[in-house]
Structure 1
Amino acid sequence: MGCFSFLKLMMFVFNGVIFLSGLAVLGIGIWVKVDGGSFVQILGAAAPQLMQLINVGYLCIAVGTFLLLMGFLGCCGAMKESKCMLLLFFVIILILFIAEVAGAVVVLAFSSVADIFIEHLKNWAVKTLREDYGRRDDVTAIWDTTMKELKCCGFNNYKDFNSSYFYQTHSQTYPTGCCLPPKHECLESELDSTKQGCLHEFQTFLSRNGKIVG
């Protein structure tokens, strides 16, 4: 087998895997959006810790469609030796590579951009905590997971929940993620004083791992 034939075969195999992966991700995304009830039952029984996947159906559809497109271009371009398909495939790969490099440069070199991003993130986060936490299941699930994984409470601190929908409808108590265990909900006097806001924990993570993330 010549070098060209070997490269052609490898191109077909790897892009075939990408195509099948895209098909699987797209199928999951469509399943989540069309028949969310059965998906929740199966996922809840098999892996309760992955229940947050029910909130990313549209993302799965978008990623799956993109992978299908890339796999199709790579496979057909390699098998048919189509210059047009292969050129489009490599142009997309090049654009992704440039975007990743640009993103890394922004993360590593332009802290002011990061500050602007954090300011916008702060406005959105505090708004969702006060208006949507406890009201919308998807927002509540995302925040519960974030506070659990980062071991934090609120965005700035626990006071983000003051006058919130959750605070007013739960007898002026704070959510589980802010409380000393094994409290389900708690008053201010029962809060875990060791927990900082999620912004502080996120900034700490970036300061320790910023270069790795970049």
Structure 2
Amino acid sequence: MWERIKGQIETCWDKHSSQTSTVITSAQLAGVAILAVGVWVKVDSGSLLGVLDNIEDAPAELGQLANVAYLLIGVGVVLLIMGFLGCCGAMKESRCMLMLAKEILEDLSEKVVASIKKDYGNDGSLTSLWNGTMEQFKCCGFRNYTDFDGSPFQGNPTISEVIGCFNMLLNLIEDNAVIIGAVGLGIAALEIAAMVVSMVLYQQIGNK
């Protein structure tokens, strides 16, 4: 099945290379957009919170937007770098760049979990960010409470909820912001498409 899909993608690449380049370029644009939002939230967080306070029936969880400015900046930078690597890798036919873009995408979730285990309870700013997020969203960890295995939190639990914050965030987006959810899914689909295209190009270059 994979061989058939790969063949179809290769044929599509040969006939529609400009569209493929558009996918990779769009990943860069998504990174720029997220980076810009993160910088705006960080610089103008006071005004943002003031706007949220004036919105009737606004979910209390929206107040956490000011705490994720650095996360948005980080994600934006990563997407921008991935788009750059994918674009340059396709233009220069560099297998190294294409593989690097794929590895970055695969390592993102692993690094989040590793950061929890290593720095939670030791890094004050990270601990405060996670505590505020978990208390606000009534969740525990990135995937679930097992993310804290081996961390200082394991021996001193204070939150009884065992649902992962990632799933809680998805639920929040689904319940309170359909447009945000659509944008998020679009970015995710874009990144998956960019990764698949990168791998096809990687194999094509290797066969030359």
Normalised-by-shorter TM-score class? 0.3 to 0.5
More helix by share: 2
TM-score after normalising by structure 2: 0.47
Greater radius of gyration (CA): 1
Higher relative contact order (CA 8 A, sep 6+): 2
